[in-house]
Amino acid sequence: MYVHPKPPEEVLRGLYGEYHARGGGNEADWNRLMAKVFREAADRLDGMRDGSGPPRILDVGCGYGGFVSLMRDRGWDAEGVDPSPMTVAAASAKGIPVRLGTLDEFPRSGAAYRAITMFYVLEHLFDPMSALRKVFALLEPGGMLLVRVPDTTPIVRLLSPFGLGTGLYDPPFHLFDFPPRVLTRMLAEAGFGKIRTFPGRNTIPPRIGPRLATMLFGALARGLFAGSGGRILLPGASKTTIARKPS
């Protein structure tokens, strides 16, 4: 699923200046929202350390730099990039190494990364296939991409008979919605292998209603996945996908 026609890219980029402040949100709200997702990703990525020095990691769409800070605390050489001047300024004021910009503007030169993360980013990009190819180029051989995306279409289809649900696509910010099979195919076409998708930990929304719903469906998604030996991915629940660049 995708937005058509897409809004002009320069207009959309201007909207991201206040994106993280929507609904009165602040840095603490975002860190709380992503806390479980960040910890789970960090635990998984820590398995890639080989004792040869701090491995490099790039968090694309890093926001306030919460994941960058977490990985630096764990001994990684972590940095981030984000298009929001507000969040980049807040992160930089704390000494978190982030830069203002997008993946398109990120240089290919320099040392490669052991890992690259994209938490709820791919659905915002004008050309997600190009972004995956860029990530592939930036990773060192054997490096890992960890990407988390929503899977909104099943919920919208469920609610559409009642005239509800279309707002869940979050236009104009979300330009695409990825079922797992589509993202898997895209990653394979970009050159990645060892592709695996799983429910992962849930976010923690600030409002009680969405929080309870997210906790319930997150637990159900993880239970079905574990009980089926990894065969059942609950439609509608956000999912994490990891993929490797061949060695």
Q: Give pLDDT tens digits for 183-195.
A: 999 999 999 999 9
| Inter-residue contact 86 to 116 (CB < 8 Å) | no
| Inter-residue contact 84 to 19 (CB < 8 Å) | yes
- Could you give the count of Cα atoms lying within 13 Å of 85 in the half-sphere of its Cβ? 4
The CATH number of the domain holding residue 199 is 3.40.50.150
pLDDT at 141: 93
The answer to whether residue 159 is domain-embedded is no
The answer to whether residue 220 is domain-embedded is no
The yes-or-no verdict on residue 167 having pLDDT over 80 is no
pLDDT at 76: 96
Q: Rounded to 5 degrees, what are φ and ψ at 103?
A: -60, -35
pLDDT at 154: 85
DSSP conformation class of 62? -
The yes-or-no verdict on residue 161 having pLDDT over 70 is yes
The answer to whether residue 175 is domain-embedded is yes
Q: Rounded to 5 degrees, what are φ and ψ at 26?
A: -140, -175
DSSP conformation class of 4? S
pLDDT at 108: 67
Percentage of residues in the chain with pLDDT exceeding 70?
Answer: 97
The answer to whether residue 107 is domain-embedded is yes
Q: Give the domain extent around 69.
A: 9-151+171-203+238-244
The yes-or-no verdict on residue 66 having pLDDT over 90 is yes
Q: Which residues contact 181 (CB under 8 A, 6 or more apart)?
A: none
- Could you give the count of Cα atoms lying within 13 Å of 150 in the half-sphere of its Cβ? 21
* Residues 168-194, mean pLDDT to the nearest whole number: 92
Q: Which of 19-23, 24-28, 95-99, 205-209 has the highest mean pLDDT?
A: 95-99
User: End-to-end distance of the chain based on CA atoms, in angstroms?
Assistant: 33
The answer to whether residue 228 is domain-embedded is no
Domain total in the chain: 1
The answer to whether residue 199 is domain-embedded is yes
The answer to whether residue 108 is domain-embedded is yes
Global confidence as pTM: 0.93
- CA dist 120 and 242 (Å) reads 14
The answer to whether residue 50 is domain-embedded is yes
For 13-65, how does the pLDDT look when each residue is reduced to its tens digit (9 = 90+)? 777 877 887 766 789 989 999 999 999 999 999 988 877 789 999 999 999 99
- CA dist 101 and 88 (Å) reads 9
Higher-confidence residue of 12 and 246: namely 246
